[in-house]
Structure 1
Amino acid sequence: MNFALSSDQENIQHHLTALLKDICTPEYVQRCDEQQKPPQEAFDALAKNGWLGLIAPESLGGAGGSATDLAVMLDVLGYHFEELGLWVFRNLTYGCYAVMKHGTKEQIETLVPKVITGEMSFCFGLTEPDSGSDASALTTKATKHGDEYVLNGRKVYTSGMDISDYCLLVARTSNLERKQQGITTFLVDTKLPGIEVKKLQTLGQRAIGTTEVLYSDVHIPASSILGKLDHGWTGADDYLCYERLCLSAARTGAARSAFDIALEYAKTRVQFGKPIGKFQAVSHKLAEMKSMLDIAQTMVYRYAWLMEQGKNTRQDAAILKLYTSESYKSISDMCLQILGGYGYCMEYPMQRFFRDSRLATIGGGTSEIQKNIIASSLGL
């Protein structure tokens, strides 16, 4: 097991960093956050330079990249702007990985090339007002009607729905004995009649944010099904495991960015006649954060390696998500403490890391749910 990056992966870091320094400056990121404006220009530049095709096969115009390649890319994206990284991950996970794994030939050839070019954006609709952590208890229904299905229900926290062309929607198609059964995933055109999208105001993640979506008699063709009818939960669970690699990589990059700001501040901020980093109270925080970052990054690459070997498990994904989320939250908190009043001021970036990181232990499966998965795998 070797976590050393290859020369190609180092090139990913180098070339992507050079691009982002130009298109995703701190001022640009601050403006997107304050104006609640998606980083469209940065996203378009990534598409133009081929980055959205990283994991797509070469036969469709992609680069055929590995899970580790993806982790490297999302780490760099997260370092420069976490929400940009999350926008990219949604497209690569739901518009590429999911479609490539469970899509028909027509779905693959129609959708994946448009994801690569940035012409088409994807989001994921799973959580509902009454089914959050208990996700498989969802009640949004897709009822068969001739050659169509009719969708009715309400989803919440469908992040990016208002800027997406398709939603990978998880709906109930049958009432069977186990709640995980009778669930199907659909590729839903977000512009169809009967879909109502409401933007939610949130503490962080404000550039793209999240939405509540009402589906009222939305007619979709049977060809919209991704995978097998009534067997969609297995696929959704697989996508969530892939998502946890992506989230962990992007958030570890974001945590490292916050750390670098705090480290520079500790070296240059003078109090009581010396840089505050010389005080043990500050230096120990930085030492603890450095250790957490190195562990988090190693865990990201380990999980990516396990995926490439076909050996990753739900337990592995849960451990990764739990540690990287909790460490990001802790690091942003300690970094803000080091910056003191400046960290608390909205004109400086640290408050954004503090706000954005708070979602890490909630969204995509709470830390408590990750612990449940880990405990279950231990036979408890």
Structure 2
Amino acid sequence: MDFDLPADLTAYLAELDAFIEAEIAPLEAVDDNIRFFDHRREWARTDWEAGGLPRHEWEALLATVRRKADAAGYLRFALPREYGGRDGSNLWMAVIREHLAAKGLGLHNDLQNEHSIVANNPFVLMFRDFGTAAQQAEFIPGMLAETHRLAFGLTEPEHGSDATHMETVAVPETRGSLPGYRIDGEKMWTTGMHMASHCLTFARTSGEPGDAAGITAFLVPAKAPGVTIEEYLWTFNMPTDHPRVSFRDVFVPDSAILGKLGHGLALAQHFVHENRIRQAASSLGAATYCIEEAVRYARRRKPFGEELAKNQGIQFPLVELATQAEMLRLLIRKTAWQMDQMPKPEVERRLSDKVSMCNYWANRLVCEAADRAMQVHGGLGYSRHKPFEHIYRHHRRYRITEGAEEIQMRKVAAHLFGYMGPRRQELEKSLSAGSDERREG
């Protein structure tokens, strides 16, 4: 077994580093752009008088970086070559995301905004796999050019992780001889709605509450009559672009359906494993950054004339975190590599528990690492002059979003105890054999 990264991958990381140094770092240094990353970052990013939304200047700066990264050929790395990408694998994306996050805060990779010089772009593949020819022709180039932006309307006020008890409904209706659907309901945490051209809205079209089937995905124009942003939900880490949105008597034509009627949840699950493994890698990178910063500070700081790092009370907690990071890195890379060896349905059947392990543990680890870095740095670590509070406040969300850690632990348990996954038949057979042996005894 060879655990070394491929030579072309390490060369690509060096290429990204050179691009950051030549193109991105200078952009941080001009026009006081550093205000978005130093102790002023929350104020600089947040328009407090506009519902806590991101300031226009902040989002414009991120857009400038994306254009630079796209022109240099990095932004679309994960996409197929037909869309200007490089067919980036899950392993490569995991390593790249960890590498960029381990650099700390910066324009190269701002996790609070899901921004990176190597983008994720799951919606593009969603349209490739589920869209009609007309939808693909409009939305794929539109999303790549950023003329089309999609918000994701799945979660509801009364139903968080359980989408099957969805109360938003879509009823067939014809208006002006145009057949379509009337949508009524409410969505929560509809991220990016303030800039969206459309909201991918999930609504029940048939079936009963609790049924996975009968839910359909609709492409609803963000400015359609009856679509209302009711409030922006202020969060632990500001700015916020996570509103509660209502849909009242909203009409869309049949052509607004994305995917098959009644099978919308397949879209919601389409990219979940890729998203989770990449997000786990980013959390690992941020955790590594916190650990390394704490180590360096402990070596520099000399209270009572000796390095802080000589105290076992400082050493041992960081040793434990560093050990967890090393083990997690191996599991993430192994899982990402295995994902690249099989089609999506097989990933769901054979590897979803490993993806969940990576994700929930990485999100927990980065919070612990940020907290420990604060402790090692003392009062300075608690201040906003260090990035640890920002890292903690951002990554704390991922223990809830992208599948709450309890949901992910349930998935792991289902595989571990053989209620689903490849161990199911094996365990049932062994348990049955054990019962037979006891009866015979």
After TM superposition, list the pairs within 5 Å mapping 1:41-190 onto structure 2. 41-50=61-70, 51-79=74-102, 80=105, 81-83=109-111, 86-87=114-115, 92-146=120-174, 147-176=179-208, 178-190=210-222
Is contact 2:130-2:259 (8 Å) kept?
A: yes
Partner of 1:29: 37
The structure with higher relative contact order (CA 8 Å, sep 6+) is 1
Question: Per-residue CA shift, 1:39-60, capped at 9, x if unaligned?
Answer: 4413432233223322222223
Is contact 1:77-1:85 (8 Å) kept?
A: no
Question: Per-residue CA shift, 1:77-121, capped at 9, x if unaligned?
Answer: 434344356246997344223222222233223222233334433
CA separation in 2, counterparts of 1:297 and 1:167? 35
- Residues 1:289 and 2:321 aligned together: yes
CA-based RMSD: 2.7
Question: Per-residue CA shift, 1:57-82, capped at 9, x if unaligned?
Answer: 22232332222233234334434344
After TM superposition, list the pairs within 5 Å mapping 1:1-380 onto structure 2. 4-17=4-17, 18-19=19-20, 20-23=24-27, 27-30=35-38, 31-34=40-43, 35-36=45-46, 37=54, 38-50=58-70, 51-79=74-102, 80=105, 81-83=109-111, 86-87=114-115, 92-146=120-174, 147-176=179-208, 178-197=210-229, 198-204=231-237, 206-310=238-342, 311-313=346-348, 314-377=352-415, 378-379=417-418
Question: Per-residue CA shift, 1:118-145, capped at 9, x if unaligned?
Answer: 4433332221111112232221122222
TM-score (norm. length: structure 2): 0.78
Percent identity over the alignment? 27
* Count of paired positions: 379
Distance 1:84 1:100, change over 3 A: farther
CA separation in 1, counterparts of 2:7 and 2:113? 22
Gaps of 5+ in 2: 47-53, 420-441
Is contact 1:93-1:243 (8 Å) kept?
A: no
Larger Rg: 2
CA separation in 1, counterparts of 2:280 and 2:208? 34
1:170 deviates by 2.3
CA separation in 1, counterparts of 2:233 and 2:60? 19
CA separation in 2, counterparts of 1:221 and 1:183? 17
Question: Per-residue CA shift, 1:261-283, capped at 9, x if unaligned?
Answer: 22221121211212212211111
1:28 deviates by 2.9
Higher mean alpha-carbon deviation, 263-272 vs 22-31, is at 22-31
Is contact 2:170-2:183 (8 Å) kept?
A: yes
Distance 1:372 1:221, change over 3 A: same
Question: Per-residue CA shift, 1:14-38, capped at 9, x if unaligned?
Answer: 3333424344576433455333235
Partner of 2:439: none
1:342 deviates by 1.1
CA separation in 2, counterparts of 1:176 and 1:143? 14
1:229 deviates by 0.9
1:190 maps to amino acid: A
Distance 1:177 1:346, change over 3 A: closer
Is contact 1:124-1:158 (8 Å) kept?
A: yes
TM-score (norm. length: structure 1): 0.89
Is contact 1:62-1:116 (8 Å) kept?
A: no
Distance 1:203 1:108, change over 3 A: same
Question: Per-residue CA shift, 1:288-319, capped at 9, x if unaligned?
Answer: 22222223332332232222112423222221
CA separation in 2, counterparts of 1:158 and 1:148? 23
1:78 maps to amino acid: A
CA separation in 1, counterparts of 2:161 and 2:193? 20
Gaps of 5+ in 1: none
2:130 maps to amino acid: H
CA separation in 1, counterparts of 2:302 and 2:247? 57
